[in-house]
Amino acid sequence: MSSNSTADNLCAPDDTLCIIREHQQAVIIVPTLLLFATLVTLLALFLLRYCPERKQTRVTAPQRYNSSSHRYTQRNGHRRHLQGIDAPPGLNALEHEELPMSIQQVQQNVRPTLAALPQMSTERQHGAFSQVTTLPLPFSIKPDDTVTLYRARMDNKDVILRVLKETATSSEKQHFLGFASFVSGLGPHPFIPALLGVVSVQSPLMMVVEELQHRDLLGFLWRCRQDNSGLESSCNMTEKRIFTMAGQVASALEYLHSQSCIHGNVGARSVLVGGDLTAKLWGFGSTYRKRTPGEVEDMELRKWQAPEVLARRGISRSSDVWSFGMLLYEMVTLGDPPFAELTPTELLQYLQRGNHLSRPTTCSNSLYAIIRSCCHWNPQQRLSMSDLIRKLQAGEKSANGRTVLRVSEPLHIERYLREAGYGEAYNYAVL
């Protein structure tokens, strides 16, 4: 009221221009400032709401294809020029399976975690792969039609390219990358094949794994069985060599258990042999499925499974110890399947009656004692991994390193497949 009185005192009642000039601060300037402040506030809110989201989209979009290396994403144009990705003319896609492997259906909702992949560089230079050749089959098996294998050279090293087919579904791609992430997450170990890289930016997806010259141990044992002349020194399997190679596999298995992983598929088919006869544990498909929500679980080859697994009462580290005993049996018999006289459906009842593996004629008492210690019916009575490694190391020191194991009986693939129970469960593992 004092303002109005002041204006009335200064201006005549009929002087409208004077009255407006006196009231312009309250009538014009203040509303204008309030309007301007409102517009500035709305603009700031708009920028905060939308601009960071657009920036984030630009950063994360390439990571959906390859979260392991943004540098590779920036250079993904080179991917199409890599040699060896596309099969050379005449390459038979059905001839690339090297090891027996489990065929599993993959759930659509699997979402692999690729957090482990940044531990290694997956970037590959132009022309990184050369001298690509097909892998020979040790025997005819049901192939995994989602993955093909190639032998190649990379950085002056022999490698295996595990390539996902171009027509793979989204779930197959998720499974492939999830398995690569799992193997990468295991970390390096001297008796686990090295994962050298992953191509995940552009189809076809690919894993690069070191090649081991003699491939799977099962095929290697069969070649030793057939080489009765002893001319090939690498096939001179002695008991001492069995202890050495078994100790290497046990070391890898103990490391796997320390990573809270159960292998679930231990056998000669899941061990790879290098040119210097170093044995490395592989066949991690079963391990990955057991750790991945949504994966379909399946019974592995029953002749190698512990009684509690056959009875579906659960699996544990001691179940791997039982399977390790079967591996020792394979090695000392140069590739015979365990319990050859039984069908897989008869095995559990046979074991419930207190029966066990018979001692092969080529097996010493000390090695057979370890096999029996691995294969107790009660899981608590089986050897721990640390005790098993100690016994293998002690056996290696005293084992016969001169007498070469010989098996006179010829190998018949059809009979082996029947005795091993391959007709009961398709279990084809691993590269």
Q: Lowest-confidence range among 13-27, 173-187, 198-212, 295-309?
A: 13-27
The count of structural domains within the chain is 2
22 vs 281, residue with greater confidence: 281
Residue 330 has phi, psi (to 5 degrees) of -60, -40
Is the residue at 319 inside a domain?
yes
Q: What is the average pLDDT across 367-395?
A: 96
Residue 37: the pLDDT is: 87
255 and 165 in a common domain: no
Could you say which of 187, 211, 235 is where a domain stops? 211
Give the total residue count for the chain: 431
pLDDT digits (tens, 9 = 90+) for 112-144: 333 333 344 544 433 466 666 556 544 444 456
285 and 173 in a common domain: no
Task: Categorize the per-residue pLDDT at 152 as very low, low, confident or very high, splitting at 50, 70 and 90.
Answer: confident
Domain that holds residue 207: 63-211
Residue 216: the pLDDT is: 92
Task: Categorize the per-residue pLDDT at 93 as very low, low, confident or very high, splitting at 50, 70 and 90.
Answer: very low
412 and 306 in a common domain: yes
% pLDDT > 90, the chain: 40
Task: Categorize the per-residue pLDDT at 109 as very low, low, confident or very high, splitting at 50, 70 and 90.
Answer: very low
Is the residue at 49 inside a domain?
no
410 and 313 in a common domain: yes
Residue 3: the pLDDT is: 52
Q: Lowest-confidence range among 131-140, 239-248, 314-323?
A: 131-140
pLDDT digits (tens, 9 = 90+) for 29-81: 777 888 888 888 888 887 877 664 443 333 333 333 333 333 333 333 333 33
272 and 185 in a common domain: no
285 vs 393, residue with greater confidence: 393
Q: What is the average pLDDT across 296-325?
A: 87
- Report field, pTM of the whole predicted structure over 0.85: no
Residue 118: the pLDDT is: 39
Is the residue at 32 inside a domain?
no
Task: Categorize the per-residue pLDDT at 431 as very low, low, confident or very high, splitting at 50, 70 and 90.
Answer: very low
283 and 174 in a common domain: no
What CATH number has the domain bearing residue 76?
A: 3.30.200.20
What is the 3-state secondary structure of the chain? CHHHHHHHHHCCCCCHHHHHHHCHHHHHHHHHHHHHHHHHHHHHHHHHHHHHHHHHHHHHCHHHCCCCCHHHHHCHHHHHHCCCCCCCCCCCHHHCCCCCEECCCCCCCCCCCCCCHHHCCCCCCCCCCEEEEECCCCCCCCCCCCEEEEEEEECCEEEEEEEECCCCCHHHHHHHHHHHHHHHHHCCCCCCCCEEEEECCCCCCEEEEECCCCCEHHHHHHHHHHCCCCCCHHHCCEHHHHHHHHHHHHHHHHHHHHCCCCCCCCCHHHEEECCCCCEEECCCHHHHHHHCCCCCCCCCCHHHCCHHHHCCCCCCHHHHHHHHHHHHHHHHCCCCCCCCCCCHHHHHHHHHCCCCCCCCCCCCHHHHHHHHHHCCCCHHHCCCHHHHHHHHHHHHHHCCCCCECCCCCCCCHHHHHHHHCCCCCCEECCC
230 and 198 in a common domain: no
Residue 27: the pLDDT is: 66
What CATH number has the domain bearing residue 338?
A: 1.10.510.10
Residue 410: the pLDDT is: 81
pLDDT digits (tens, 9 = 90+) for 352-378: 999 999 999 999 999 999 999 999 999
Could you say which of 189, 211, 233 is where a domain stops? 211
Asked whether residue 301 carries a pLDDT value surpassing 60, the answer given is yes
237 vs 127, residue with greater confidence: 237
Is the residue at 19 inside a domain?
no
Is the residue at 193 inside a domain?
yes
Average confidence score pLDDT of the chain: 76
407 and 277 in a common domain: yes
Greatest mean pLDDT range, 175-179, 205-209, 278-282? 278-282
185 and 73 in a common domain: yes
Residue 13: the pLDDT is: 72
219 and 171 in a common domain: no
Asked whether residue 296 carries a pLDDT value surpassing 70, the answer given is no
Could you say which of 177, 196, 211 is where a domain stops? 211
Residue 229: the pLDDT is: 56
194 vs 28, residue with greater confidence: 194
- Between CA 392 and CA 403, with CA 397 as vertex, the angle to 5 degrees is 100
171 and 145 in a common domain: yes
